[in-house]
Structure 1
Amino acid sequence: MNYVIGIDLGTSAVKVLLMNEHGEVCHEITKSYPLIQEQSGYSEQDPNEWVEKTIAALQELVEQFDGEIEQIQGISYSGQMHGLVLLDEEYNVLRNAILWNDTRTTEQCKQIYKTIGEKRLLDITKNQALEGFTLPKLLWVKQYEPERFEKTAVFMLPKDYLRFKMTSLIHSEYSDAAGTLLLNVGEKKWSEELCQLVGIDRNICPPLVESHECVGTITEDIAVQTGLARSTKVFAGGADNACGAIGSGILSDGKTLCSIGTSGVVLSYEERKTRDFQGKVHYFNHGKENAFYTMGVTLAAGHSLSWFKDTFAKDESFESLLACLHEVPIGANGLLFTPYLVGERTPYADANIRGSFIGIDSSHKRIDFVRSVIEGITFSLHESIEIFRENGKTIDTIISIGGGAKNDTWLQIQADIFNAKIIKLSSEQGPAVGAAILAAYGCNWFESLEDCADVFISSAKTYTPVPENVEVYQQLYHLYKNVYVQTKSLNEGLQKFRKIES
């Protein structure tokens, strides 16, 4: 039996998954690491933590593995998007990585529009200038940490840095590069024009390869530390959302994914590079060669529920917190929640907006608040689905993964709010499975990603929308959309009162 490893470098933890050629998960190891939040809006991590925790996870996995170590033939990666890692000429890290959920770069986004123009930026990158993307982070370092910027020999994305430390080879790939705001998405190359306009040396952009491409083998040092064979092949991998799509079978037209992790995304497959969403949703290169996907993002999806649990039910499990969710009626007894805890991305590119509970009265119990958080997250994701439908996409079936796929009531809420069939997968590991599929395909186990996905992925249960629930949720959704409009100026006024130090 042969095996591959999928490594998912997330925002809060790295997950290492061992899968065999039948698509079975044989071992799974997770190691967490902290966020560094020195000021409001700042979100950083030490890249060395990613490497140390991944090596520790691989060591543990190898210790549990009872086969011949050479049977583990390949490794591939999924990673949090947009994060900025800067290396000097000797490939030393120059500063902490600035992450996707860091919102310090509003000023730099304005500079990008002023320098490039919104239309030209959309023509090249197919995306708006948002605080989460990599280019604004580069410009922030250039402006506020010029000594570090001058020392920069190459910038890297999180999973690409991890792969570099395991191979000593520097690459990026198209699905992650598409989230930098420096890639010409249609032409699949770094944009010389954008680099020149914003004063970024094109040479600091890493070489680009396909997601399934073999970029080398692990180093002798990594082989010794982990116990893996020196011959273990390493494949480029993909952005977490691209790998989540692969790991959920979103590999052909008409396929749509809802993934609820720290952030939440609604992702839909695109064959063409020509569909125009006017920047309302993201448009990225897929991990499948010469394919694309469109994606709407809720910045604080699962994070909203985690925040609520940590604040009001710290010692309880998520299962306990959600145990009576089904007993609360639609609308949480007149309570609405907007999940703007760290700003929002789709459909509002707004770093200043913050969350709200609307309609609190003394009769509300904690479980009402839980239901309103769940519904608010799902309403926010529905705004992306609404944009897709308004632009001519048919969305009647959605595969749901992540935290939102772990609770039957929440899955039914998704079916009713989205007015679509929701499919729960038999074994839902999302991006880590997508990374493993890329490794399996790269190892030539299958002739195509689709053939591999057919073996590695199967559905377990389908949730169908209930017409009367759909009607009630449509009324609530109208009210939900009003909350942003009516609280925007209030949040702008409150900004100066927010705690600066973490």
Structure 2
Amino acid sequence: MKYVIGIDLGTSAVKAILVDYGGIVHQTVSRSYPLIQEKSGFSEQDPEEWYKKTKEAVAELITNFEGKADEIEGISFSGQMHGLVLLDQHLNVLRNAILWNDTRTTKQCEEIYSVIGEKQLIAITKNTALEGFTLPKLLWVKEHERDTFDKINLFMLPKDYLRFRMTGTVQTDYSDAAGTLLLDVAEKKWSQELCEAFGIDIKTCPPLAESHAYTGTIKKEFAEETGLTGTTKVFTGAADNACGAIGAGILSEGKTLCSIGTSGVILCYEEPQKRDYDGKVHYFNHGQEDAYYSMGVTLSAGYSLSWFRDFLGGEESYDSLLKGIEHIPPAANGLLFTPYLVGERTPHADASIRSSFIGVDSNHTKVNFVRAVLEGVTFSLKETIDILRDNDHEINTIISIGGGAQNKTWLQMQADIFNAKVVKLASEQGPAMGAAILAAYGCGWYSSLQECSRVFISYEKAYDPIPSNVEVYETLYEIYKKVYIQTKNLNKELEHFR
């Protein structure tokens, strides 16, 4: 039997899965690592922790593997986007990695617009300047840590640093490079214009490769410490959202993904140059060659639910927390929540906006609040779906993954609010499965990613919208959209007190 390993380098943990030729997952191992938050708005990690925990995860896979190590033919990667890893001329790390959810760079985003202009930035990168992207982080280091900036020989994205440590080779793929604000997305090359405008040596940008490209074999040290063989092939991999899309079969026009984790994502497959969103949603290169995807983001999706659980004491399981929501009618008996706990991304790129519960009544109990949180998160995701539909996307079937796919009432709620069929995967492994599919395709097991995905992916159940619920939610949604408009200035004024 032949096997591949898919590795997903997430924000809080690394996940490794062992998958055979038929797409059966034999093992799943996860290892967590800490965030480093020295100041408000700062979010960093030590890249050495990624490597250390990945070694532990892979070593456990091999220890529990009943086959032979040389049957594991390939490894590929998914990784958290936008993170900045800086290396010196000896390829040693210069500082902690600055992560996607770090918000210190508002000033640098303003600088980007003043230097290059929003219109020209979108023309090159297809995206607006947001704090989470990589270029603003580079500019922050340039301004605040000039000695470090002057020593930069190379910058990397998180999964690419991990792969470098495992193989000694340096690349990034187009889907991850698209999240830096330095890639010419249509031309698939680093932008000389942007690099020159911001004083960045284009030679510090890593070489570009397709997500399925072969990048080398495992280094002797990593093989000896994990039990892998030195002949195990390694492939470039892709950004976590691109891998999540691959792992859910979003590989052709008409396919849409709803992923609810800490943040929430609505993602649509795009044919090259078919639509221009003018920066209203993200537009990135896909992990599939010469394809793209559009994406909207809710910053506090699953995080809204975990925050509410922690607010109540944090001792309750999620199953217990959600118990009884099926008995509360749509609209949570007149209670409405907006999921702006840490600001918002789509459609409101606003770092100052904050959450609200509207309509709190003395008759409301905990379960009303829980239902309202789920509805508010789903409404926020619907705002992205509206943008996509307004740009001629037919969104009739949505694959739902992540925490939002673990509760049947929430799945039905998504179908009702999105007014579309919502499908749950039979065996969901998230971006790690997308990484495994890239490895399997890279090894030549299948002729295309689509062929591989048909073998590796199966569906469990579909939820159709209930017309009476759709009608209620359409009315409530119009009220929901007013909350941002009517609380925007209030939250700006409150920012002084935070």
Tell me the TM-score range normalised by the shorter chain.
over 0.9
Tell me the equivalent position of 2:214: 214
How do residues 95-494 of structure 1 correspond to structure 2 at under 5 angstroms?
95-494=95-494
Q: How many residues align?
A: 498
Give the CA deviation at 1:485: 1.0
* Contact 1:354-1:491 within 8 A present in 2 as well: yes
Give the letter aligned to residue 252 of structure 2. S
* Contact 1:124-1:184 within 8 A present in 2 as well: yes
Give the CA deviation at 1:62: 0.7
SS at match of 1:387: helix
Pairwise CA RMSD: 0.9
Partners in 2 of 1:131 and 1:140 — Cα distance?
10
Give the letter aligned to residue 111 of structure 1. E
Partners in 2 of 1:329 and 1:40 — Cα distance?
38
TM-score after normalising by structure 1: 0.98
Sequence identity percentage: 66
Tell me the equivalent position of 2:82: 82
SS at match of 1:108: helix
Give the letter aligned to residue 4 of structure 1. V
Give the CA deviation at 1:173: 0.5
Give the CA deviation at 1:96: 1.3
* Contact 1:41-1:342 within 8 A present in 2 as well: no
Partners in 2 of 1:333 and 1:53 — Cα distance?
46
Tell me the equivalent position of 1:56: 56
How do residues 27-42 of structure 1 correspond to structure 2 at under 5 angstroms?
27-42=27-42
Give the letter aligned to residue 202 of structure 2. R
* Contact 1:313-1:321 within 8 A present in 2 as well: no
Write the deviation string for residues 233-278 of structure 1: whole angstroms up to 9, x where unpaired: 1100000000001000000111110011111100000112241111
Give the letter aligned to residue 169 of structure 1. T
Give the CA deviation at 1:39: 2.0
Partners in 1 of 2:67 and 2:143 — Cα distance?
52
Give the letter aligned to residue 84 of structure 2. L
Partners in 2 of 1:396 and 1:274 — Cα distance?
19
Partners in 1 of 2:34 and 2:43 — Cα distance?
10
Give the CA deviation at 1:362: 2.0
Partners in 2 of 1:436 and 1:466 — Cα distance?
36
Tell me the equivalent position of 2:92: 92
SS at match of 1:178: helix
Partners in 2 of 1:130 and 1:294 — Cα distance?
16
* Contact 1:257-1:398 within 8 A present in 2 as well: yes
Partners in 2 of 1:10 and 1:491 — Cα distance?
31
Give the letter aligned to residue 192 of structure 1. Q
Give the CA deviation at 1:313: 4.2
Give the letter aligned to residue 462 of structure 1. A
Give the CA deviation at 1:95: 1.4
* Contact 1:267-1:293 within 8 A present in 2 as well: yes
Give the letter aligned to residue 185 of structure 2. V
4+ runs deviating over 4 angstroms: none
Give the letter aligned to residue 347 of structure 1. P
Partners in 2 of 1:364 and 1:155 — Cα distance?
51
Partners in 2 of 1:34 and 1:302 — Cα distance?
19
Give the letter aligned to residue 340 of structure 2. Y
Give the CA deviation at 1:302: 1.0
The runs of 5 or more residues in structure 1 that have no matched partner are none
Partners in 1 of 2:354 and 2:150 — Cα distance?
36
Write the deviation string for residues 413-454 of structure 1: whole angstroms up to 9, x where unpaired: 000000000010111112000000000000000000010000
Give the CA deviation at 1:51: 1.0
Give the CA deviation at 1:123: 0.7
Give the letter aligned to residue 50 of structure 1. W
Write the deviation string for residues 162-208 of structure 1: whole angstroms up to 9, x where unpaired: 11111111110000000000000000000001100111111110000
* Contact 1:247-1:429 within 8 A present in 2 as well: yes
SS at match of 2:268: strand
SS at match of 1:179: helix
Give the letter aligned to residue 204 of structure 1. T
Partners in 1 of 2:311 and 2:420 — Cα distance?
33
The runs of 5 or more residues in structure 2 that have no matched partner are none
